[in-house]
């Protein structure tokens, strides 16, 4: 692993920046699908209250990495440490680890047979044992926070893409996750809606939420990220503060990718 794959030199050891244990530490993570290797040794660290952003070409494995971190895929090699505990170990309590994370999927994945409010209140109620009334109350607050209180009783098929996306965010926040995973939450939205959703994420970041996210929105990545990781060839090819990775990348491939994305945005 090249040293540039890590946010800072010492991060591969257990303590993260500031000497405390990072919320998430991924070490040498490998994932194959059939014969193809999608992740070929990923290293990254997300410290508390930090926002780490994954960028990379389509198919570079951003979604796969997020699913692996959320223990939705079995990893083939390497470790995933959540608050210093290896949760990728088959002997570890995966369900307990999953309860401390929440993911917003690229395709929303709302439950179509439940209203927005029911989607949001489900996990607090049945997983976290929150009394129904309190769960509903919490759900209402969250829907209000994402600007959807009037749609609490609507089914997902009656909501626009951006509205569904925001319900998905509310659903993820309802479990009060230690680590929030966001997978290209704006890729299916038109520019006007992108702004709304990104605003919510910005507010979460300001509020101290620990976030690992994948995005194609370079401007947004620059705004909210503490660290940007460029995925290429199944590895973190380059990572560091957004001004550096997006503004003045060390690696030629990063430079090409950023230039291409920016060009696409402008055209």
In the complex, the residues that contact Mg ion under the rule CB under 5 A are 63
Q: Which listed option, another protein, ligand ATP, Mg ion, none, makes contact with residue 58 (CB within 5 to 8 Å by class)? A: ligand ATP
C-alpha–C-alpha distance, residues 213 and 180, integer Å: 8
Closer of 106 and 239 to ligand ATP (Cβ)? 106
Q: Which listed option, another protein, ligand ATP, Mg ion, none, makes contact with residue 33 (CB within 5 to 8 Å by class)? A: ligand ATP
Q: How far is the CB of 56 from ligand ATP (least distance, A)?
A: 6
C-alpha–C-alpha distance, residues 184 and 266, integer Å: 19
When CB distances to Mg ion are compared, the closest residue is: 63
Closer of 9 and 129 to another protein (Cβ)? 129
Q: How far is the CB of 58 from Mg ion (least distance, A)?
A: 7
Closer of 58 and 267 to ligand ATP (Cβ)? 58
Q: How far is the CB of 100 from another protein (least distance, A)?
A: 9
Binding region for another protein (CB under 8 A):
67, 70, 72, 95, 98-99, 101-103, 105, 107, 109-113, 122-123, 126-128, 144-147, 150-151, 155-157, 160, 162-163, 171, 175, 196, 199-200, 203, 207
Which of 202, 189, 191, 143 is CA-nearest to residue 162? 189
- The label of the residue with tokens 């995925």 reads 231
Q: Which listed option, another protein, ligand ATP, Mg ion, none, makes contact with residue 110 (CB within 5 to 8 Å by class)? A: another protein
C-alpha–C-alpha distance, residues 152 and 147, integer Å: 10
190 vs 105, 166, 194, 261, 264, CA distance in Å?
17, 14, 6, 17, 15
Binding region for ligand ATP (CB under 6 A):
33, 38, 56, 58-64, 106, 184
Residue 145, H or E segment: helix 132-145
Whether residue 118 contacts residue 60, with contact meaning beta carbons closer than 8 Å, is answered with no
C-alpha–C-alpha distance, residues 42 and 57, integer Å: 16
Closer of 80 and 101 to another protein (Cβ)? 101
Strand pairing report for 101-104 and 85-86: unpaired
C-alpha–C-alpha distance, residues 15 and 202, integer Å: 26
Q: How far is the CB of 180 from ligand ATP (least distance, A)?
A: 17
The number of residues in the chain equals 267
Closer of 87 and 213 to ligand ATP (Cβ)? 213
């Amino acid at each position: 692993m090249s040293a540039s794959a890590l946010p800072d030199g010492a991060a591969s050891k257990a303590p993260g920046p500031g000497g405390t244990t990072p919320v998430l530490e991924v070490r040498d993570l490998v994932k194959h699908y059939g014969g193809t290797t999608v992740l070929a040794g990923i290293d990254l660290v997300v410290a508390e209250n930090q926002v780490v952003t994954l960028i990379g070409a389509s198919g570079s494995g951003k979604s796969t990495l997020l699913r692996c971190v959320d223990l939705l895929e079995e990893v083939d090699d390497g470790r995933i440490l959540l608050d210093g505990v290896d949760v990728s170990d088959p002997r570890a309590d995966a369900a307990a680890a999953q309860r401390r994370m929440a993911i917003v999927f690229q395709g929303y994945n709302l439950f179509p047979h439940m209203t927005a409010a029911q989607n949001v209140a489900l996990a607090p109620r049945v997983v976290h044992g929150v009394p129904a009334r309190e769960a509903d109350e919490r759900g209402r607050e969250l829907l209000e926070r994402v600007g959807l209180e009037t749609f609490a009783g609507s089914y997902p098929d009656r909501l626009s893409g951006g509205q569904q996306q925001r319900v998905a965010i509310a659903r993820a926040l309802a479990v009060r996750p230690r680590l929030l995973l966001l997978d290209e939450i704006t890729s299916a939205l038109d520019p006007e809606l992108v702004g709304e959703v990104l605003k919510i994420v910005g507010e979460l970041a300001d509020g101290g939420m620990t976030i690992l996210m994948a995005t194609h929105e370079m401007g947004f990545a620059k705004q909210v990220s503490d660290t940007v990781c460029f995925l290429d060839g199944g590895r973190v090819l380059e990572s560091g503060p957004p001004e550096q990775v997006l503004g003045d990348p060390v690696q030629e491939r990063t430079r090409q990718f950023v230039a291409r994305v920016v060009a696409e945005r402008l055209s």
